[in-house]
Amino acid sequence: MNAEGQWMNPAPTVRPNPVLFQRNPPIAGEAEAIAAAKLGDPDAFAKLYELHKRRVYTLCLRMLGNISAAEDMTQDAFLHLFRKIDSFRGESAFSTWLHRLTVNLVLMQLRKKGLNLVSLEETVNPTDEDTPKRDFGSRDPVLAGSLDRVALERAVAELPPGYRMVFVLHDVEGYEHNEIATMLGCSVGNSKSQLHKARLKLRELLRHPERATQSPLISESEK
Amino acid sequence: MTVPSNIDFDNLKPEEFEHILPELFANGEGKVSKDPRLHKFLAANPDCAALVSDLEAIADAARTLLEPVAVAPSEQVWLNIQSRLREGTVTNGHSKTTD
Residue ranges of the domains in chain B?
A: 9-66
Residue A212's pLDDT is: 60
The answer to whether residues A169 and A211 belong to one domain is yes
Residue A37's pLDDT is: 92
The answer to whether residues A25 and A108 belong to one domain is yes
Which residue, B75, B98, B94, B74, is CA-closest to A41?
B94
Which residue, A135, A123, A127, is CA-closest to A186?
A123
The answer to whether residues A107 and A176 belong to one domain is no
The answer to whether residues A106 and A146 belong to one domain is no
* Closest Cβ opposite residue B26 in set A61, A86, A177: A177
Residue A133's pLDDT is: 56
The answer to whether residues A105 and A26 belong to one domain is yes
The mean per-residue pLDDT over the stretch B17-39 comes to 86
Number of domains forming the structure of chain A: 2
Q: What is the DSSP string of A93-141?
A: -HHHHHHHHHHHHHHHHHHHTT--TTTTTTTTS--TTTSPP----PPPH
Instruction: Please judge whether B91 and A174 are an interchain contact, meaning their C-beta atoms are less than 8 angstroms apart.
Output: no
pLDDT band at B68 (very low <50, low <70, confident <90, very high): low
pLDDT band at A26 (very low <50, low <70, confident <90, very high): low
Residue-range definition of the domain harbouring residue A189: 141-221
pLDDT band at A200 (very low <50, low <70, confident <90, very high): very high
Residue A223's pLDDT is: 37
Decide: helix, strand or coil at residue A158: helix
Q: Does A79 touch chain B (CB under 8 A)?
A: yes
- Please state whether B13 falls in left (phi above 0), alpha (psi between -120 and 50) or beta: beta
Cα B85 to Cα A55, A64, B80: the distances in Å are: 21, 26, 9
Residue A208's pLDDT is: 78
Do A157 and A218 touch, CB atoms closer than 8 A?
Answer: yes
Do B65 and A63 touch, CB atoms closer than 8 A?
Answer: no
Give the B window 59-98 contacts with A, CB below 8 Å.
Answer: 59-66, 68-74, 76-78, 80-81, 84-85, 90-94, 97
The answer to whether residues A28 and A107 belong to one domain is yes
What's the CATH number where A29 sits?
Answer: 1.10.1740.10
Q: Give the count of alpha carbons within 13 A of B98, CB side only.
A: 8
The mean per-residue pLDDT over the stretch B36-44 comes to 93
The mean per-residue pLDDT over the stretch A18-35 comes to 70
From A57, A92, A112, the end of a domain falls on A112
Determine, yes or no, domain membership for A161.
yes
Residue A117's pLDDT is: 52
- Cis check for the bond before A10: say yes or no (omega within 30 of 0): yes
pLDDT tens sequence across A131-174: 565 555 665 655 555 678 888 888 988 888 888 889 999 998 88
The answer to whether residues A147 and A106 belong to one domain is no
Residue A148's pLDDT is: 80
Instruction: Please judge whether A57 and B72 are an interchain contact, meaning their C-beta atoms are less than 8 angstroms apart.
Output: yes
A122 Cβ contact partners less than 8 Å away, ≥ 6 residues apart: A130, A131, A160, A162, A163, A194, A197
> How many percent of chain B have pLDDT more than 70?
79
B46/B43 Cα distance (integer angstroms): 6
The answer to whether residues A27 and A107 belong to one domain is yes
Instruction: Please judge whether B22 and A147 are an interchain contact, meaning their C-beta atoms are less than 8 angstroms apart.
Output: no
Is the predicted pLDDT of residue A18 greater than 70, yes or no? no
The mean per-residue pLDDT over the stretch A12-35 comes to 63
ipTM: 0.78
pLDDT band at A66 (very low <50, low <70, confident <90, very high): confident
The answer to whether residues A35 and A107 belong to one domain is yes
What's the CATH number where A212 sits?
Answer: 1.10.10.10
Residue B58's pLDDT is: 93
Determine, yes or no, domain membership for A38.
yes
Q: Which of A22-31, B2-11, B41-50, B79-88 has the lowest mean pLDDT?
A: A22-31
The answer to whether residues A28 and A101 belong to one domain is yes
Do A197 and A131 touch, CB atoms closer than 8 A?
Answer: yes
Please give the residue that has the higher pLDDT: either A161 or B62. B62
Q: What residues of chain B lie within 8 A of the CB of A40, using their CB?
A: 91-92, 94
Instruction: Please judge whether A172 and B73 are an interchain contact, meaning their C-beta atoms are less than 8 angstroms apart.
Output: no
Q: Is the pTM of this model over 0.90?
A: no
Q: Does B48 touch chain A (CB under 8 A)?
A: yes
Cα B35 to Cα A157, A195, B17, B52: the distances in Å are: 31, 20, 13, 11
Is the predicted pLDDT of residue A207 greater than 90, yes or no? no
Determine, yes or no, domain membership for A213.
yes
Residues in chain B: 99
Mean model confidence pLDDT for chain B: 82
Q: Bridge-partner residues for B97, per DSSP?
A: B90
Determine, yes or no, domain membership for A179.
yes
CA distance B78 to chain A (A): 7
Please give the residue that has the higher pLDDT: either B6 or A160. A160
Residue B29's pLDDT is: 61
Cα A2 to Cα A102, A108, B37: the distances in Å are: 11, 8, 43
Torsion of CA A166, A168, A170, A171, to 10 degrees: 130
